Chains A and B, each alone.
Chain A
């Protein structure tokens, strides 16, 4: 079950010609795919493209009606390899994943796909996770387009432009027999806008048709000598065909007047450039401007003629190209040099070499460019602005704490790391290799565990060098269930078995690909009508040849978790020690259970709700519990007591009763402040009787003692 349900929104995918479609960018992309008669779609989740996978998953009924095959691919490599269906058959196919991590994983398949070329249009939609809020390293997809010689679309970030890019993407792909990448940036994926819909089209040839009538063409298979020919064909046939298509359909756009300075930009930068011009008084709210703009909705290949023509009449051009290296600027520089051009080429330097091109970066970069090269266009106050010194907020900096992402309330992964911390208290520090996924939050306070993260499913692989008979200590590595199935089973587990790695591997199993939004995977425990779930990770691990396997089916048992880890670190047994730690992702569990509980309550059924609490007078305000938890619900509060210096622990209303704090207090021998309160709704008669009876006895005992002592009002409040 995905984090967000698009069940309602996907109905918009049925809109017909002329109707207005209003919604999010990703939904618009899906609609565009259907309008293009796509025959099959697949991909791998990951921000910002997760929701596209969720949309497709929720739209399976509509896809089925149109004869479109949907594949929740095992990895980005799988998704890209799937596009092989378009090699020999004129079927349009689309794959989607996040970039650049997904593109890295996919690049083997991408290279082979690009070498042989495609018959049916093949579109790879990459969601760029770059800049603010990004969870990955910062790199450019552009490099992949260049190295594999696939075309890269980077449309202006509005719904009509994105939809048009999907349509042209397929046609461009078919016209040039080359896969096409469509790049959408993170905020663009979630931009809310509108476009005019067209009718959905059934694919002229479905995958079923192709299966019934197999075809092959040795010339399209990547093996010498065909592959040598592909290399030449890319340049002699496919590239010219692509450029021809781009020019004929004017995929790149030119706006603005006929001034002596111009701006060349990636399509995705368009809104940012316009906003800067608007603020400089050179564009109106609708983007009308006198400044000549050349918008590269196709950033690879570059169309030399168009660019030279645009530059021919200019004294200076500014290239707005986000990220590094500056591929476009370098290519343009080479073109201009070879053409003996005299235009001044400005780009990096005026704009920062690295980092996101945010509003203020654009404003200052474009502002400086225009002040230097076209001062006469600017209003006097803009030409020489009187910028006051920015205010100093030193004291405020101290008052605003860092807020990195962390484990959710009741997260079942928290106790795993609490246990690891406890083990380290006993056995000392260890080398810990982390992996991609929610569990990577272990590197943040309060746990601060984990030294490296090398890639999805590569946690144990990245600890593989730490395998020495001379060491008295073993490495610990983590891998999530998502990463495990993505490629961890072979790259990490299989590798450890084969190389007789003596380390400890913890597989964090939360029943979902949780960090990407709770998609089902092979080991998910939910019944999925279209996918095969419930394949135990332990079976896979044993099948791979691991002898020492332990399964913990309730991670909240901190004591057991700690003891198992300790055993794994100290056992005489050789070879990898694998602990599969399973408990359902609390976010998904709440989403699943809440409606059920609500219904049970209204039906008058017996429902127990658990919440934890802290006795504030028992708590001494040391916060040792926080250092082993970090639960958002476990917080601190100040008591109105002059005798107390430090705030005490408190559990807020959002507690889901996972039990971690009680378990940690027990396992770490912290303090007796924690209590668990189970509220029984609609109790049975026997329960009610017992409750009333014990309450009466308890009240009598309490009264007996309180009659003989002083009771202060404060205690009775």
Chain B
């Protein structure tokens, strides 16, 4: 891409133009200073600029450097440098984050005949990507692919991880990648001296620099973290009796249609982990029944989705499950790893709970719970004692034991109110899906997938339920339409697009409007 003018006339081709696109707080200023100093040490002309200000409070920001070797004939002459990068006129672009590489391309700073693009392939997610109830992450693959096409050279790897492993910030690994790329005509030692001259934290910076240098210069790739072997997932440990029962269950999974097996095994594991083998057997009973009614010509798509969402539906999120998960040894190990707990340190862990009467009532025997729930005044009165934040210290014996005991209630689950409610809801949903599947296979699959909408706790959970109901509530309006499945998919995606259901409202209105039209034209 050439914006404007051909290279021939340009008198600035000897000037090296380098732009750094960073997110505020990534140390772009440090990197800019290093590069400026590097050029100064080589006795080059150099100029750098930045925009300090609120843009650096986690916003996107650009640093810019121009440098030129001194003309031995006129070493005193001062070149005139530009203060900011211009589209189509940048030699090296350093992006401290993958989406920023994409932004550099969009702004025209990266051009195929000119620009070496050095980017860290990690993502620092923008707020807009994180607040979506579904999956709002931008498509990194597109950026990677376009960056390859748009640049003369594209060097990318996870420089953030390298920095973190070395206990420093990304500016060090970015400088390493720049040095390793060979795009600047300075020796590696010159780069390292610049870092050393900075003093503070030089050791860690040099370590990150070295690893990034190696990656960027294409020297032998270091082995990545060991891939998890495929078989390891299924490994189970436990008492012999349970293992034997587990083996029998896995044999039943092996008898399912092959496209379903992997998902079914994952589902099976989740279900048995939630309650017991009898519960897992119920899962398989249902799945076998569904598979028998499913169609081979559709590659058992319905059963596949059922394997996934039935397991998720059977494993509802109740207080017992939370307590159980939080008191496992694997979890304790994960926390210790997360905070890098050393042998000479101790650890306090505090859990943030806020149960309400609705959740507590679910823990009661079904009849008692339902009885209380039927009396709103009593609920409100009891809620006064329940509804408050509870901070539970799980590093202490009392706090831990409390959760441990609650986690142990799982064996009584079948008799509890929540279980009854969840089971009834699940069966209604499955019946609906099976019925729709018989009329319109794809629609049945889509109905299954709507289970994705139910998640969260408390109000969030209630909101998920209501979205689920609203989406499936459109089914009568879609009756008989050949694109019904597609509409359910669209409605579901709309429901996942925002929390307040604005997109869903719009989608529902659309469905209503054509349902109306359809009626009129028929009438």
Which positions in A face B, CB cutoff 8 Å?
22, 47-48, 50-51, 129, 132-135, 157-158, 185-193, 270-272, 274-275, 278-281, 283-287, 358-360, 363-364, 367, 378-379, 381-382, 385-388, 390-391, 393, 395-409, 438, 441, 444-446, 515, 517, 559, 609, 611, 613, 615, 617-618, 620-624, 626-627, 630, 632, 634-636, 641-643, 645-647, 653, 662-663, 665-672, 674-683, 687-688, 691, 693-695, 697-699, 701-703, 705-717
Contacts and interface: CB of A to CB of B under 8 A. Distances in A.
B206 to A, nearest CB: 19
A679 B345 contact: yes
A361 to B, nearest CB: 9
Given A406-B59, A710-B238, A192 B10 contact: no
18 contacts: A191-B47, A271-B82, A281-B10, A381-B8, A403-B126, A445-B127, A620-B456, A623-B130, A630-B131, A670-B456, A670-B457, A672-B322, A675-B351, A676-B350, A698-B397, A699-B329, A702-B329, A710-B273
B163 to A, nearest CB: 10
Nearest to B331: A615
Contacts, number: 445
Contacts of B351: 672, 674-675
A597 to B, nearest CB: 14
Given A385-B6, A401-B128, A705-B408, A559 B347 contact: no
B130 A635 contact: yes
A672 B461 CA distance: 13
B1 A388 contact: yes
B270 to A, nearest CB: 6
A271 B81 contact: yes
B11 A133 contact: no
Given A279-B10, A694-B396, A679 B273 contact: no
Interface size class of B (residues with CB under 8 A): 35 or more
Nearest to A680: B346
A618 B23 CA distance: 31
A393 B106 contact: yes
Interface string B244-279: 001000000000000000110011011011000000
Most buried by B among A191, A367, A401, A702: A401
Given A671-B457, A714-B233, A287 B80 contact: yes
Given A280-B5, A391-B1, A132 B327 contact: no
Contacts of B501: none
B55 A670 contact: no
Given A403-B59, A623-B133, 18 more contacts: A47-B53, A48-B52, A135-B55, A271-B82, A275-B80, A283-B80, A399-B146, A400-B103, A401-B126, A407-B57, A408-B58, A622-B455, A627-B131, A643-B266, A669-B457, A675-B349, A677-B349, A699-B329
A642 B234 CA distance: 14
A676 B396 CA distance: 14
B88 interface: yes
Nearest to A667: B389
A47 to B, nearest CB: 3
A76 B15 CA distance: 40
A680 B329 contact: no
B203 interface: no
B134 to A, nearest CB: 5
B121 interface: no
Interface stretch (B172-180, B333-341, B373-381): B333-341
Interface in B77-114: 77-89, 99-100, 102-103, 105-106, 108
B127 A408 contact: no
Nearest to B353: A672
A285 B11 contact: yes
A662 B131 CA distance: 17
Nearest to B51: A133
A713 B236 contact: yes
B125 A636 contact: yes
B502 interface: no
Given A133-B55, A272-B83, A403-B60, A190 B49 contact: yes
B57 A441 contact: yes
Interface stretch (B137-145, B210-218, B479-487): B137-145
Interface in B1-54: 1-6, 8-12, 14-15, 23-25, 36, 40, 46-54
Given A271-B80, A623-B133, A678 B348 contact: yes
Contact of A408 (B5, B57, B346, B408): B57
B262 to A, nearest CB: 7
A187 B349 CA distance: 47
Given A281-B9, A681-B345, A691-B395, A405 B80 contact: no
Contacts of A367: 4-5
Nearest to B82: A275
Contacts of A271: 80-83
Contacts of B59: 403-406
A604 to B, nearest CB: 10
